[in-house]
Amino acid sequence: MSPASLRAPGAGGALIASYGTLRPGAGGFEHLGLAGLARPAGPCVIAGDLRLRPADDGESFAPALLPGPGLVPGDLLIAGPQALSRIDAWEDHPRIYRRALSELPEPAGARAWVYFYRGADAGGSVPGGDWLAYLQAAGSRAWTSR
């Protein structure tokens, strides 16, 4: 997909930059039943600092992106209206996460919806800002419970 086609969400669906549970292999895409409602559009880099926040189960952690100078690897999704609605509910937008249209460092010139964490309880940084690498290093399975 060319950067020109990634400049802004349009009739083809909303472009979403995912850094956590919706990335391939993290389990959220499957858990939400997004097949046929959204499609992958390739890798990206998101500006911000990826941190850990307490998950709803009180025992594990979830990814929390905060505005900041870091660079976070992610994946792009093109989501139709039903998928966007499911993702908004999953991210508890606008209560827990705030969806904002953001310019991405990569691909250059791309703009996508990014879910930023709104809470004050974000903890330590995810090493390297990569949620999938963090899961692998921690020996954790994909976090999908909400």
**Taking the domains of the chain in order of start, what are their residue ranges?**
12-138
Residues 16 and 139: beta-carbon distance below 8 Å: no
The angle formed by the CA atoms of residues 115, 56 and 70, to the nearest 5 degrees, is: 35
The CA distance from 66 to 49, in Å, is 5
Instruction: Tell me the whole-structure pTM to 2 decimals.
Output: 0.87
Instruction: Give per-residue burial for 80-113: e unless 16+ CB within 10 Å, then b.
Output: eeebbebbbebbebeebbebeebebebbeebebb
For domain 12-138, the CATH architecture is Roll (3.10)
Reduced to 3 states (helix: H, G, I; strand: E, B; else coil), residue 83 is helix
Of 120, 135, 109, 130, the closest CA to residue 49 belongs to 130
Residues 52 and 25: beta-carbon distance below 8 Å: no
- At 33-69, the pLDDT tens digits run 999 999 999 999 999 999 999 887 777 788 999 999 9
Does pLDDT of 11 surpass 60?
no
Does pLDDT of 12 surpass 60?
yes
